[in-house]
């Protein structure tokens, strides 16, 4: 699993770890309803949009190298995306990266 922490996360920058078969299986099952067709890339669809929200790129890679990609802007609001956001909230703990991903703002650092 590849993680890239950006501003205001406990770990900033790229990091990789093995989440184990159980972690991957749990994540795959939780994300299955949101997965685009094999070998395609898709963006989540919005009913409404708000700005300045987290962005996610979720990539499924088959053993033959075929990649399926979902790009999600957390500000892209719809009922289905609200469900995806709940799944995404749980994934850091499921994959063992919750400590890396927790929000952290250094004293004196701008949030903008």
Distance, in Å, from the CA atom of 64 to the CA atom of 9, rounded to the nearest integer, reads: 34
pLDDT at position 53 is 86
Q: Which long-range contacts (CB under 8 A, 24 or more apart) does 101-105 make?
A: 101/3, 101/5, 101/9, 101/10, 101/11, 102/9, 102/10, 103/8, 103/9, 103/10, 104/8, 104/9, 104/10, 105/8
Contact between 75 and 48 under an 8 Å Cβ cutoff? The reply is no
pLDDT exceeding 90 applies to what percent of the chain?
53
| Count of positions (residues) in the chain | 112
- The pLDDT value recorded for residue 110 is 59
pLDDT digits (tens, 9 = 90+) for 70-82: 999 999 999 999 9
Sign of CA dihedral 17, 23, 24, 27: negative
């Amino acid at each position: 699993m590849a993680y890239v922490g950006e501003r205001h996360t406990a770990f900033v920058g790229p990091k990789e770890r093995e989440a184990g078969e159980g972690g991957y299986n749990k994540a795959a099952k939780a994300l299955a309803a949101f997965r685009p067709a094999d070998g395609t890339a898709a963006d989540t669809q919005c009913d409404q949009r708000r700005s300045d929200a987290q962005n996610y790129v979720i990539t499924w890679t088959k053993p033959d190298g075929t990649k399926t990609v979902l790009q999600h802007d957390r500000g892209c609001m719809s009922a289905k995306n609200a469900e995806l956001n709940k799944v995404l909230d749980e994934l850091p703990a499921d994959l063992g990266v919750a400590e890396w991903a927790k929000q952290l703002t250094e004293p004196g650092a701008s949030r903008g």
